Amino acid sequence: MMPIAEIIAEALHAKRTGPGRWMARCPAHDDRTPSLSITERNGSVLVHCFAGCRQSEVIEALRARGLWPERKTEWLPREQYRQERKRRDSYREAERWKNALLLVLEHARRDAWHEFLDCDAAGKKDERAEALTRLFELASEHRRIRNLNGAELLMAYAESLERDPKGVAAVLNYALDDDQNARDVTAAIVAMLALAQQAQSERRVA
Please report, as ranges, the residues that interact with Zn ion according to CB under 5 A. Answer: 26, 28-29, 49, 51, 53
Closest separation between CB of residue 17 and Zn ion, Å? Answer: 17
Closest separation between CB of residue 35 and Zn ion, Å? Answer: 5
- Cβ atoms of 41 and 81 closer than 8 Å: no
* Cβ closest to Zn ion, residue 53 vs residue 154: 53
- Name, in order, each residue with C-beta under 8 angstroms of 198's C-beta and a sequence gap of 6 or more: 90
Closest CA to 101 of 187, 16, 25: 187
* Cβ closest to Zn ion, residue 26 vs residue 94: 26
Closest separation between CB of residue 53 and Zn ion, Å? Answer: 3
* Cβ closest to Zn ion, residue 60 vs residue 152: 60
Closest CA to 4 of 18, 22, 17, 25: 22
Q: Is the dihedral of CA 123, 124, 129, 131 positive or negative?
A: negative
- CA–CA dist 130, 118 (Å, integer): 12
* Cβ closest to Zn ion, residue 29 vs residue 124: 29
Closest separation between CB of residue 8 and Zn ion, Å? Answer: 14
